[in-house]
Structure 1
Amino acid sequence: MEDTIQSLLQKTWHCALMCENCAAASIKTEQNGQFADCIQLSLDCAEVCMLLSKAIKRQSMLLQPLLDLCHWICQQCAEVCGKHEEDHCQQCAAACLLCSEACLLAKSKNR
């Protein structure tokens, strides 16, 4: 498998796991809706990352639009989670940024 795609697979899996972790930890500490956007975006991002991973593995014809979607949702999630000081939110934001960059790189190489 091409190095760019292999790297993307690793980053999407890592991002999905960090997003799931962030959502779970945020749910445990949720007070007055302060993490509502963080939880929602983290769960959405995890789902999109997993969908992209599966699409890559089966060489889906949806790869290009999913790269765009994953890039976009990772950017949104990184922005929201990055506003929180909690370690799980910061780790999620960092993983999302790495995944977003990997999506852009893969998209540019697959043209």
Structure 2
Amino acid sequence: MSLSETVSKIDGLSDEEQECIEICNEATQTSEWCADECLGMEEMEECARMCRDVADITSLHARLMARDSDYSGHLAEACAEICEACAEECSQHDHDHCQVNAEVLERCAESCRSMA
């Protein structure tokens, strides 16, 4: 069963919430990938740090949304902010992993902002 099929089975989530969980999970994965690819390149340390922060917050936000936490909306704003900042950082680099991550994070920021 795919992640989207699993998420769609969670009772009480709107389509918008399901979509946000999915994009947060995608952002977690691409940010971990980007951070891992940046390791060992001194000029990419800030990018790697930001990507790790994004991976942590997007993962947490997805989990809070899945359990209908009262704190999910508060975290959504922070999630959107860090996704935007990391997307800006990643977009400055020519590496494929940075460009892919920047695109995913822009969509994640937009989705999280709508949840805030």
**Fold match by TM threshold 0.5:** yes
Q: Distance in 2 between matches of 1:62 and 1:104?
A: 14
Q: TM-score, normalised by structure 2?
A: 0.86
- Bigger drift between 7-16 and 57-66 goes to 57-66
Choose from 93, 102, 107 the match for 2:102: 93
Q: Specify every segment of 5 or more residues in structure 2 that has no aligned partner in the other structure, as ranges.
A: 1-12
Q: Structure 1 counterpart of 2:93, which letter?
A: H
Instruction: Give matches, 1:57-72, under 5 Å.
Output: 57-72=66-81
State how many pairs are aligned: 104
Q: How big is the shift at 1:106?
A: 2.3
List structure 1 runs of 4+ shifted beyond 6 angstroms: none
Q: Distance in 2 between matches of 1:21 and 1:46?
A: 10
Q: Structure 1 counterpart of 2:44, which letter?
A: F
Q: Structure 2 counterpart of 1:25, which letter?
A: E
Q: Deviations over 1:22-72 (max 9, x none)?
A: 0011115x1xx2101100000000000000011001111111110011000
Q: Specify every segment of 5 or more residues in structure 1 that has no aligned partner in the other structure, as ranges.
A: none
Counterpart for residue 46 of structure 1: 55
